[in-house]
Amino acid sequence: MTTKSRTYAIIALVILGFAAVDITLIATNRSAEGAEASSVEARLQRLEDREAIRDLIIEYGHMVDTRNWAGFANLFAQNGEWVGGMGAAKGRPAIQKMMEDSIGSNTTGKSPAGIGGPNFHIFANERITVDGNTATAVTKWMFLVPSKENHPQPYYLGHYDDRFVREDGSWKFLSRTAYGDIPPAPPKTAPYQPSK
């Protein structure tokens, strides 16, 4: 091999070396860009999911306050469960029946539980953790009723422990457990039994 041939061979190897480094850098850069885009997309999805869950929590309050028990039950997954002071109910029909029997449909007079109306639920300080198609949350709640002077008066303060599932593209309650904190009122885990 002549000196000229060796020089061309060395130049060719150097060029191939630079090309290999360039290809590696381009591939690494594209991989990093893809991971960053994926990370941004994943973060955006988590934010959208958290907002959808927040909307579900607010809709829950609206359904309770308007006594729309069919709409209320539809906020739960097919096998969803509600557990609270009245007992536990699993599945949409059982949840709807429990609310109809225990709270009723009256938004202005006394409910079957003896609470005067109108009354309202207020939610705050929710901590939502999303993990793919499932999520958990803890939400503080306040139940307001009219005082004797017809002013808003807190009746209960408490919190919910929630588990959510994405069902048919929408977030639903998989389980919602209601705790009364002030005054203390632990949930009753026994199945709901209508009073006779």
What digits encode the pLDDT tens for the residues 86-138? 899 999 999 999 999 988 877 665 544 555 567 889 999 999 999 999 999 99
Q: Report the alpha-carbon distance of residue 122 to residue 153 in Å, rounded.
A: 12
Confidence of residue 75 (pLDDT cuts 50, 70, 90): very high
- Chain Cα centroid distance, residue 48: 11
Beta-carbon count within 10 A of 108 CB: 8
Q: Report the alpha-carbon distance of residue 118 to residue 66 in Å, rounded.
A: 9
What digits encode the pLDDT tens for the residues 140-192? 999 888 888 888 888 889 999 999 999 999 999 999 999 999 988 888 887 87
Asked if 42 and 48 touch (Cβ cutoff 8 Å), the reply is: no
> What is the DSSP secondary structure assignment for residue 55, as one 8-state letter?
H
Whether the predicted pLDDT of 1 surpasses 90:
no
Domain boundaries, the chain: 31-182
Q: Report the alpha-carbon distance of residue 181 to residue 54 in Å, rounded.
A: 22
CATH number at 31-182: 3.10.450.50
Q: Report the alpha-carbon distance of residue 20 to residue 32 in Å, rounded.
A: 18
DSSP 96-149: HHHHHHHT-S-SSS--TTS--SS-EEEEEEEEEEEETTEEEEEEEEEEEEE-TT
* Predicted pLDDT at 179: 95
pTM of the model: 0.76
